[in-house]
Structure 1
């Protein structure tokens, strides 16, 4: 097969310009409804408060969403005059660290809401007439997809801020489905051979996902599901956090310095282990994927279990490769966009689902829950693919390349379908625990 034949095509490629506009408008509206829900759930004093130095005040995220939409859609694509050029620097994420943002002269809650509403009106005006074909920002509505993904990424960041805030619960959602399949094997064999990694055909894919390229991966065994709380608890109870031999030098120094002895938000009571989740304190659920663990904790567990973390190419091959056709799918289950039967996404539930809850979302090789529930740490450093080209600006990906950041894959229950796919790449510092991150293990075959 040629390179093109190895990659599954996105249905967006077949839409007319009017259909693309409708699709983009619906995606933007879904993102905005979520942003409003996350910010309307608390009062103004909560919106301007910094709940953790790791996170911005919620009101900064809200106005930043509007600022980026103004810059890219209203000014760049639409060629319209600026609405608020005076706040460009305030909401430039590279000019102000999160810890310093509360001291800035930020827009207040009412002003921020009015600003993002005005920007959205202008952006929709631009969408009505924007060409959906061409190069760069206008091709298949890329700029509108980029801004939708940006807002959804900040919505997940705001959701993480909600997890860090104190007080009574303000967010509510139904529980995820229970396990829907028979007990699964512990591991799945992923055969050796080449597969097509990344994408050159996904119209809303971001620069770090491009271009598609062939990668040869050796045979390996991968956990069928993410590591559960029950499995991770065995590591905790066996003294895993007290045994130096399981940890890298950097990881050991970090947990010693910060007194880390369990996943974040866990605590031991006389009756067992409990966790706090969006203001609710509850027993740690045994069958959910473990969450709020750092890369260092994930790697230490894997060593204790006699395994390792998968590399990024291994993860993507397990998620996308179809041995029957030799092609790389858009998602583990196929090429159609995620539905509620496939994966736990979009803040539909405020927790990971038990392992085995989404049999219709499994990959051709039988790996489950690769998309949704928890981001999964890989052992790979974040970097560009062969032939990488920064677009539309270096600060989206390229400035983060290097050993300081580890790659995470697959999305979480807080990730929207617009902001995750089989090629989507996330990255963070290996010490981060406030994000909705877990992992699964691998080993050589």
Structure 2
């Protein structure tokens, strides 16, 4: 037991360190003016995210798990995401860059001391290091949010990464997923969050699903055929939003002669036709699917295509199996700053032959965000339950900006159907 506990402590320390290294990269790559500036009313200033990460770590690990004295109780309200909408955060008396850095460093020192002494079993909050894993995922989720803020900032590029790998496999057409029950969600994943639980059987009729996400080239065909001007393809809500927002193409796309270019992290270049389209909202994805004679997959369809292994009748952790993601299986963790071409990760395909379900782009599905049967909020209602309802649509699979610690076959993301600043794409499905 001591050996296993020591291994768990080492894993937690490693994951905390990886998350903080990424936070540091994203906040140290800009000057202090950019750090405190609001680059879009949809996003917080980067300095708010930095101190918020530290504040959540203090609340859960220093105070709750460790039972230690507060570091800065006076700032709790400033960094409560539910009390201050993003658009209003620049007007708050936030910690300055230097003070925020010192604060998160002090908190982290105390957290590592708590980790050395805390029990990692007994109560649900600490069992298998859950509270630490929750905080790792929280920081990585904010790192992806900060990466999206970098995509929205104006000015010269400050982030760099190698290009994604080329396609090595031809991936076309659809895969058939036979009907029948499968196990959705999880009751065994140690760091799974409340909305992924509990595991439950879902009977899904047979369906076809695209073997790859919709690409830039295919999406450009939709645009060039007049898809944005044809009300037939849009829901009533989607058409109203398309008109009100003046949507004509994915966010960051601009005309370039007879084709399209897009801006990515301060660099503008022609779109790569084989890469999955990114920065489209749910309404755009839904309209494309109707134009193509298809529809968006439901959330159970998406998860069955990603996890169900007909040879064993069980649901895997990932499309390729139970092993963690590697650079050969998925485009995750800000390793690249764009989606990889379709066919770049044949080792990551599911048993049904569906590719790139994990990484590259978050994929919109048609399902509203809700709890599974038997859902229990844990450890607080504000993580998931307050978002349940018809206002939010689910996204699955992670993106190139999602870290492996916050991505698995059961992981669920959600957002308003009008949002496009996130790294969102989609694939289509149809009834069998």
TM-score (structure 2 length as normaliser): 0.99
Which residue number in structure 2 is paired with residue 392 of structure 1?
A: 379
Counterpart-to-counterpart distance in 2, 1:211 and 1:184: 33
Q: Does 1:351 align with 2:338?
A: yes
| 1:352-408 CA-partner distances (Å, limit 9, x unpaired) | 000000000000111000000000000000000000000000000000000000000
Matched, 1:232 2:224: no
Residue in structure 2 matching 1:402, options 384, 389, 393: 389
Counterpart among 20, 25, 30 of residue 42 in structure 1 = 30
Report 1:304-323 matches (<5 A): 304-323=291-310
Displacement of 1:180: 1.1
Going from structure 1 to structure 2, the CA distance change for 1:388 and 1:92 (only over 3 Å counts) comes to same
Alignment of 1:56 onto 2:41: no
Q: What TM-score comes out, normalization by structure 1 length?
A: 0.96
**SS across alignment from 1:39:** helix
Q: Count how many residue pairs are aligned between Structure 1 and Structure 2.
A: 432
How far is the alpha carbon of 1:15 from its aligned partner?
Answer: 7.4
Matches within 5 A, 1:316-395: 316-395=303-382
CA offsets 1:125-146 (integer angstroms, 9 cap, x no match): 0001111112211100000000
Aligned to 2:420, which of 433, 437, 443?
433
SS of residue in 2 equivalent to 1:82: coil
Matched with 2:62 is: 74
In structure 2, what is the Cα distance between the partners aligned to 1:134 and 1:328? Answer: 28
Any unmatched runs of 5+ in structure 2?
none
Cα distance in 2, alignment partners of residues 15 and 326 from structure 1: 34
Verify: 1:119 aligned to 2:132, yes or no.
Answer: no
Query: CA RMSD for the aligned pairs?
Result: 1.0
Compared CA separation, residues 240 and 14, structure 1 to 2 (3 A): farther
In the other structure, the counterpart of 1:143 is 131
Give CA-to-partner distance per residue, 1:183-236, whole Å, 9 cap, x none: 223100000000000000001000000000000000000000000000000000
State the match for 1:197 in structure 2: 184
Task: Find the residue that maps to 1:221 and give its secondary structure.
Answer: strand
Task: Give the equivalent residue in structure 2 for 1:295.
Answer: 282
Alpha-carbon separation, structure 2, partners of 1:271 and 1:295 = 27
Shift of 1:14: 12
In structure 1, the gaps of 5 or more residues are: 1-12
Q: Does 1:97 align with 2:78?
A: no
Moved more, 148-157 or 122-131: 122-131
Offset from partner CA, 1:112-158 (integer Å, 9 cap, x none): 00000000000000001111112211100000000000000000000
Q: Secondary structure at the match of 2:16?
A: helix
CA distance in 2, matches of 1:136, 1:43: 41
1:333 to partner: Cα distance:
0.6
SS of residue matched to 1:16: helix
Write the distance in 2 (CA, Å) between the matches of 1:319 and 1:83: 43
Matched, 1:155 2:143: yes
Give the corresponding residue for 1:131: 119
Distance 2:72 2:8 in 1: 29
**Contact persistence 2:234–2:287 (CA under 8 A):** yes
Distance in 2 (CA, whole Å) between partners of 1:69 and 1:324 is 42
Conserved 8 A contact 2:171-2:342 = no
Q: Is the 8 A contact 2:256 2:270 kept in 1?
A: no
